[in-house]
Structure 1
Amino acid sequence: MNTDGSGEGPGMPDMTSALEYWPSPPPWGWVADDLDRLPSEGPNGEPDFFKHVELIDGALLFMSPQKRFHERMIRGLTNRLNAISPPDLVAVQQMDVKLGHRTRPCPDVVIIDAQAADDDDRTYYLPAEVRLAVEVVSPESEERDRKVKPLRYAEAGIPHFWRVEQGEGTPVVYVYELDPATGVYALTGIHHGAFQVRVPFEISIDLGDLPR
């Protein structure tokens, strides 16, 4: 669903034309709104081919199958954050955030304004609606989650970012806050086990107590 009024303009090629160039991108490039128009099947009839894709700097990225750690962290953090969040905020998992015309990642967890969460037709949120973005790192996403995505989230003005990694079998949470003077994230803490933070609201989480 479009929330910013953008869409296909006059003369914009349709998705069928774009997929004729597959696996190369179309000459005019992929844009964020294309993710709402991709077919359910792949160019050769593959089922659910485009089910889990992101757009980063104009490139379509396919997400790999989740490991158990990845699934457990996403589910556990979403449930815990919703249990303690104030009424005006909601935690949702694996929903796109449209950062720009050619960048639309899918964070593992986001905390968003409750008003935005109430719209069940939404397919993405805008940076102004996001208070916290969380990425759970997997081997194939390590470079993106450590370097590329935090940079793009900060440029879009998302005030808080967490990166969750598996350290020797246990979760580690790296907590960042946007520095308004520089427009980049500053590391405010590295947390093992139980931790507390005061922003974007009072949060207390025991990583070892998340549901398995």
Structure 2
Amino acid sequence: MQALPDWMVPPRPEGWFAEDLDHLPEAPRHTELIDGALVFRLTPQRAWHSRAVTALTAALMARAPGGVEVAREMTTRLDARTRLEPDVLVTTAPYEADLTCFALEEILLVIEVASLESAHRDSTVKLRKYAEAGIPHYWYVEDEDGAPVVHVYELDEPTRAYAPTGIFRGSLQRLVPFEIDLDLDKLVPQRGD
């Protein structure tokens, strides 16, 4: 067994902190931090995942009202020891070229598109973490025979837990965090479409 590279050794006994990610240039792209532990994407993403993330980002950008920005694959600090990178996020933060992390109070919606490697984390761990952090809306997107299925959650403030508000196939219509009307079947066209 080979020794770990020096950069993989936590700088303190309690593990990593959210700010540490900005000082780890050797870490693989899309490295996240959950409860002080580094989490790496170990497998290549499928084309379906990439297409779904790009299509959702573009569709939401086209519908976002003034003062609302849509970003993909940008981190947000949930607490001192957790920094996640949702596939898509909707924020009130103005665009800044050098920004590496969004503040919690600026996040309106986070979207995770499931992959084989991330499905469990996205549907359980991240669902709980985003809710505990107070992010108002969470979407979890799955591949169902090539078509996106969107599980939509809204934060119940008193319990700091998400309440499911629907599972959408074919189309998705929402009034929050802003008016959204998506034709899900056109987001990731099937072969020959």
TM-score by length of 2: 0.90
Measure how far apart 1:65 and its partner are.
Answer: 1.7
User: 2 CA distance for matches of 1:91 and 1:134?
Assistant: 11
Structure 2 residue runs of 5 or longer lacking an equivalent are none
Aligned to 1:36: 22
What secondary structure is seen at the aligned counterpart in 2 of 1:98?
Answer: strand
Is residue 143 of structure 1 aligned with residue 120 of structure 2?
Answer: yes
Contact 2:147 2:188 in 1 (8 A): no
Aligned to 2:40: 62
Is residue 98 of structure 1 aligned with residue 84 of structure 2?
Answer: no
Aligned to 2:61: 82
User: 2 CA distance for matches of 1:153 and 1:36?
Assistant: 21
Is residue 133 of structure 1 aligned with residue 110 of structure 2?
Answer: yes
Structure 1 residue runs of 5 or longer lacking an equivalent are 1-17, 42-48
Measure how far apart 1:104 and its partner are.
Answer: 0.2
Aligned to 1:5: none
User: 1 CA distance for matches of 2:112 and 2:120?
Assistant: 12
Aligned to 1:196: 173
User: 1 CA distance for matches of 2:148 and 2:67?
Assistant: 28
Q: Spell out, residue by residue over 1:181-209, the C-alpha distance to the aligned partner (whole angstroms, 9 max, x if none).
A: 21100000100011201100110001111
Measure how far apart 1:26 and its partner are.
Answer: 4.3
User: 1 CA distance for matches of 2:82 and 2:120?
Assistant: 16
TM-score by length of 1: 0.82
Question: Given residue 198 of structure 1, which amino acid in structure 2 is its aligned partner?
Answer: L
Contact 1:30 1:58 in 2 (8 A): yes
Question: Given residue 76 of structure 1, which amino acid in structure 2 is its aligned partner?
Answer: A
Question: Given residue 50 of structure 1, which amino acid in structure 2 is its aligned partner?
Answer: P
Question: Given residue 209 of structure 1, which amino acid in structure 2 is its aligned partner?
Answer: K
For the pair shown, the structure with the greater C-alpha radius of gyration is 1
What secondary structure is seen at the aligned counterpart in 2 of 1:186?
Answer: strand
Aligned to 1:110: 89
Question: Given residue 132 of structure 1, which amino acid in structure 2 is its aligned partner?
Answer: L
What secondary structure is seen at the aligned counterpart in 2 of 1:107?
Answer: coil
Tell me the C-alpha RMSD between the 2 structures.
1.7
